[in-house]
Amino acid sequence: MLSKEFLTERGYCCGHGCLMCPYEPKHTKGNTNLMGYGNVNKKTLIVCALEVETQGQLDDYEVLYTGVGKVNATYKLTQKFGKHGSFVPYDLVINYGTAGSNKYKQGELVDCTRFAQRDMDATGLDFEMGQTPFDDTPIIIETKSDFNPIGKNGLCGSGDNFMTGLKYAWFKRQIGNIVDMEAYALAKVCNLYDIPFISFKYITDGADGDAGIDWKENVGKGIVKFKEKVLDKLPKSL
């Protein structure tokens, strides 16, 4: 028998006649009205690639760690949403992570509201660089969020390679100025679910020949700035 706590945490009624159904009216599929509490408040989900980026500083928040790369990011976030059936209990998804850039300085925290898939190359089929063949998704995804305490509106290019040197120079000419390995995938999933999304990137390196060394030295340094400049400014309703 499913517990009342489990059914409440799920955030909606499954309509399967659960004995401990906490919703009113009972057994009404998709209903989010908890008995005595009204509609279930939605919340913010924070998504990060690696725990080393957060240094144990986000224990008071709901955090999803996806692992590195677009495939892991897509799978983990879709799996998270899928656990809730047709009702996804999030008003906002915030991605925090590290990134490289030669436009923004090391140690800078940049908000990203535009995203591109920098390693999608089907130019041999006459598609533009960054364009997914036979897919209506635009080359640059723009996400919507009423919450943005920084306002730089960076363009982040995601790909399954760690960018250094010449590869980054190509990307800068094409479609962006910040490089990571997950944000585009997260943005696309959130767009498909119609959930507001924004990403905040702590610049660890210049995406140059020293990028690997710089990332290792700086990967855990941005979390305090992220908490102060972003999480501490979250509206209470989120």
17-55 pLDDT, tens digit per residue, is 887 787 778 888 877 666 543 444 568 999 999 999 999
Q: Does the bond joining 89 to the residue before it have cis omega, within 30 degrees of 0?
A: no
Distance, in Å, from the CA atom of 125 to the CA atom of 49, rounded to the nearest integer, reads 32
pLDDT score at 213 = 94
Q: Which residues of 151-161 are buried (b: 16+ CB within 10 A; e: fewer)?
A: eeebbbbbbee
| Bridge partner list, 95 | 47, 199
pLDDT score at 8 = 67
Distance, in Å, from the CA atom of 160 to the CA atom of 149, rounded to the nearest integer, reads 29
| Bridge partner list, 112 | 154, 199
pLDDT score at 102 = 84
β-pairing, 63-65 vs 154-158, is unpaired
pTM of the model: 0.80
Q: Among 3.30.60.50, 3.30.930.10, 3.40.50.720, 3.40.50.1580, what is the CATH number of 41-233?
A: 3.40.50.1580
Find all residues with CB under 8 Å of 86, minimum gap 6, and list them.
Answer: 12, 30
Q: Which two tokens stand for residue 200?
A: 């905040």
Q: Which of 3, 4, 32, 28 is nearest to 15 (CA)?
A: 28
Helix (H, G, I), strand (E, B) or coil at 181: coil
How do the domains of the chain map onto residue ranges?
Answer: 1-40, 41-233
**Over the chain, what is the mean pLDDT?**
87
Q: Which two tokens stand for residue 59?
A: 């224990």
pLDDT digits (tens, 9 = 90+) for 49-103: 999 999 999 998 999 999 999 999 999 999 999 887 767 789 899 999 999 998 8
